[in-house]
Amino acid sequence: MTKVKPVSELAITMNSIITDLIQTEVPLANQTSYRVGGKAQWYTAPRNWSELEASFEWYQAQDVPLTLLGAGSNLLISDRGIEGLVISTRYFRNYNFDVETGQLTADAGEPIANLAWKAAKRGLKGLEWAVGIPGTVGGAVVMNAGAHNQCLADILVKTTVLAPDGTIQELTVEDLDYAYRTSNLQGDRRMVLRATLQLQPGFTKAEIMDLSNRNWTQRKTTQPYHLPSCGSVFRNPQPHAAGWLIEQLGLKGYTIGDAQIAHRHANFILNCGQATASDIFHLIRYIQEQVEYHWSVSLEPEVKLIGEF
């Protein structure tokens, strides 16, 4: 781990920070793939490093809780909202491919699926598993996103994070204690800013596009994309997948409020139109209870619950 210089002191008054960057009582439902959830007490979506530094300086001075928000694809935000400051990385979008070496450097807000398609068009192998992943680079780094027996830990070289003390750190893959769908960044206040991935050069566009298209077709035909969801709700226990355990109990189509266990894939919970975060939360708990009772298996959520439920 390499520590870089502390965040610089900024000649911006607290009042101007609030006026220009920090908003209050901002609805978050439209910023999550579930389309549910309450408001952020404080919210900012910085567009550059200076605004990020200013927002972080405000957070440190106020001593409030901090929540980081990327694409909101793996989150269930409480109907009561989020206390403290929410920092969104949605505008941190920049990337660079080195086709000769295969290295890709991308900011935290870049959608991982878009990068997967761009890599395929350049004949770079290693991201084709991500063509259907509805998240950002930052979220993928934090949760060790993966599919098709591959994951981000397989290709990550390093990531740049902003630590709670205001220092910018460079972490290697060894620093992150990666395991299945987890890292030591989870439950942590370090904020991913950028990542460098090592892809494999030397392939043709046709080869990688074909593999990517096959992965995308498989996801479309086996997973529901027609209604809001967070993707897979539970981590897969061994030896059986979470969806298989749920399906064997006949729970496909089971609803609480307007939240439904998907018919196409039992490890998906769908918002059928007017679901609340509470509906989804109680359906998650119901599934856990049923699987525990019938299979003696404790399902661990892959979706991150934020706020009070």
DSSP string, 40-61: EEEEE--SSHHHHHHHHHHHHH
Which stretches of 63-131 are DSSP H helices? Answer: 112-121
- Per DSSP, the residues of 152-176 read GGGTEEEEEEE-TTSEEEEEEGGGG
The SS3 assignment for 211 reads: helix
Residues 6+ apart with CB under 8 A from 188: none
User: Is there a catalytic annotation at residue 232?
Assistant: yes
Amino acid in position 17: I
One-letter amino acid for residue 201 of the chain: P
**Annotation marks residue 302 as catalytic:** yes
Sheet holding 95-98, edge to edge: 2-6, 167-172, 156-162, 191-198, 103-107, 95-98
User: In angstroms, rounded to a whole number, what is the distance separating the alpha carbons of residues 25 and 150?
Assistant: 39
* Active-site residue, 292 included: no
Distance of CA 160 to the CA centre of its chain: 16
Cα–Cα distance for residue pair 200/224, rounded to 1 Å: 31
- Of 181, 190, 194, 219, the catalytic one is 181
Active site residues: 181, 232, 302
